[in-house]
Amino acid sequence: MMAITGYDEIIKQAAGAGADVIVVGAGLPLNLPELVGEDTLIAPIVSGARALKLLCRRWKTYNRLPDLVILEGAWAGGHLGFSDEDIKNYKEEKLIQETRDVRAFLDTLKEQKDIPLFLAGNAFDEHRIKKLLDAGADGFQFGTPFIATEECDVSDVFKKVILDAKKEDIVLIKSPVGMPARAIRTPFISTLRGEKQKIRDCRNCLRPCTPAATEFCISKVLIHAAKGNYEEGLFFAGDGVDKINKIRTVKEVLDEACLYILRAGSPGCGHGEGSL
C-alpha cells in the first residue's frame, strides 16, 4: 500500500532483500521504478485505463514499464480506488469495458513489452471469468475466496464471518486512509458515527491518517479481526463474499478457478503440475 508510513524504505528493503515482484495498490506508485533495481519486477494495481496511462507516462521517464498490471474493479475487498458514487453504480459491463480499454492500451506497448493483465474484484465466477478472458485478461487475483481456506492464518472467527455473510451484510465505510473500503457488517460497523476522536497509542502506520482526529485506528481494528475479536474487529471482504459457504483448501479454490479458466477455452492456468 502506497499509503503506508515508510513506503519508500519498505519497497527498497523488500527489493534489496530479494523480492521477485513488488505489487503496489492504494495509490498510484509513480516513483516505484526509482526505488527498485531492474531485476525486481514491478506491478501497479489500477482501477482503470486512465490511471494506467498516467502511470506509464511517468514510468517511461525512468525507462520502465510495468512487468504486469492488476486491474482491480470496485467489487474488491478492503480499500477501493473509486468514489462512493462510482462504487454504488458499478456494473459488470463497466469492469469488462475497463478490461478491454486496458488491454487495448497494453497492446499499443506490445512492441516494447508484452505485459500480462490480471483482473481482481469479485472475479471468482465462471461466467465472469469467461467474459474477462474474452475482454483481454490473462489471469486473475483473488482475495476473499482464500480467507475461507484451511491454510489462511486468520482466526476462525474471521472465517465464520466470511461464511455467514449475506449480500445485505456487505457495507462500505470511509477508511482513515481517506478511501472507501468494503467490509462486512459486524458490531464494530454499528459504532461508526462519522465523529472524530484522538487516537492514543498511535502506531503511525498510514501517512494520510491524522491520529489527532480520526474516527478509529484502522491498524487496531484490522488486527482485532485477524485475531478473532468479533465485537471490535473490522472485517474486510469483497462483494462476492455471499457466494462463499464452506471452508476449503487453497488447492480446491485454485482447482475450481482453473476449471473455470479451462472451460472458458483458455489454454491453461499455470497452477502447477498435478492439479485437476
Ligand X SMILES: Cc1cc2nc3c(=O)[nH]c(=O)nc-3n(C[C@H](O)[C@H](O)[C@H](O)COP(=O)(O)O)c2cc1C
Rule CB under 6 A: say whether 236 interacts with ligand X.
Answer: yes
Smallest separation (angstroms) from ligand X to the CB of 214: 18
Total number of residues that touch ligand X (CB under 6 A): 22
Nearer to ligand X (CB atom), residue 6 or residue 198: 6
| CA distances from residue 41 to 14, 33, 36, 38, 65 in whole angstroms, order as listed | 12, 10, 9, 7, 10
Q: φ and ψ at 185, to 5 degrees?
A: -65, 115
Q: Looking at 7-15, 55-63, 189-197, 233-241, which segment touches ligand X (CB under 6 A)? A: 233-241
Task: Using the rule CB under 6 A, give the single segment among 120-128, 167-175, 197-205, 250-258 that binds ligand X.
Answer: 120-128
Rounded Cα–Cα distance for residues 250 and 61 (Å): 40
Stretch that binds ligand X, among 70-78, 82-90, 190-198, 258-266 (CB under 6 A): 70-78
Residue from 95, 234, 237, 258 touching ligand X (CB under 6 A): that is: 237
Q: Are the C-beta atoms of 216 and 173 separated by less than 8 Å?
A: no
Shortest distance in whole angstroms from residue 71 CB to ligand X: 10
The residue among 122, 117, 118 whose CA lies nearest residue 90 is: 122
Quote the radius of gyration of the chain (alpha carbons, Å). Answer: 19
Q: Give the span between the Cα atoms of 253 and 242, in whole angstroms.
A: 16
| Of residues 45 and 46, the one with the C-beta less far from ligand X | 45
**Is 61:35 a contact under the CB 8 Å cutoff?**
no
Residue from 49, 76, 102, 115 binding ligand X (CB under 6 A): 76
Of 48, 136, 143, 233, the one binding ligand X by CB under 6 A: 143
Distance in angstroms (rounded) separating the CA atoms of residues 70 and 127: 20
* 219 near ligand X, judged by CB under 6 A: no
When the beta carbons of 80 and 115 are compared against ligand X, the nearer one is 80
- Angle between helix 156-164 and helix 218-227 axes, rounded to 10 deg: 90
Alpha-carbon span 161 to 158, nearest angstrom: 5
Q: Is residue 99 a contact residue for ligand X (CB under 6 A)?
A: no
DSSP class of residue 272?
Answer: -
In the bound state with ligand X, the residue whose beta carbon lies nearer, of 121 and 139, is 121
Cα–Cα distance for residue pair 180/44, rounded to 1 Å: 19
Q: How far is the CB of 122 from ligand X (least distance, A)?
A: 4
Q: Determine, following the binding rule CB under 6 A, whether residue 240 of this chain makes contact with ligand X.
A: yes
Binding site for ligand X (CB under 6 A): 1, 25-26, 45, 72, 75-78, 120-122, 124, 141-145, 236-238, 240
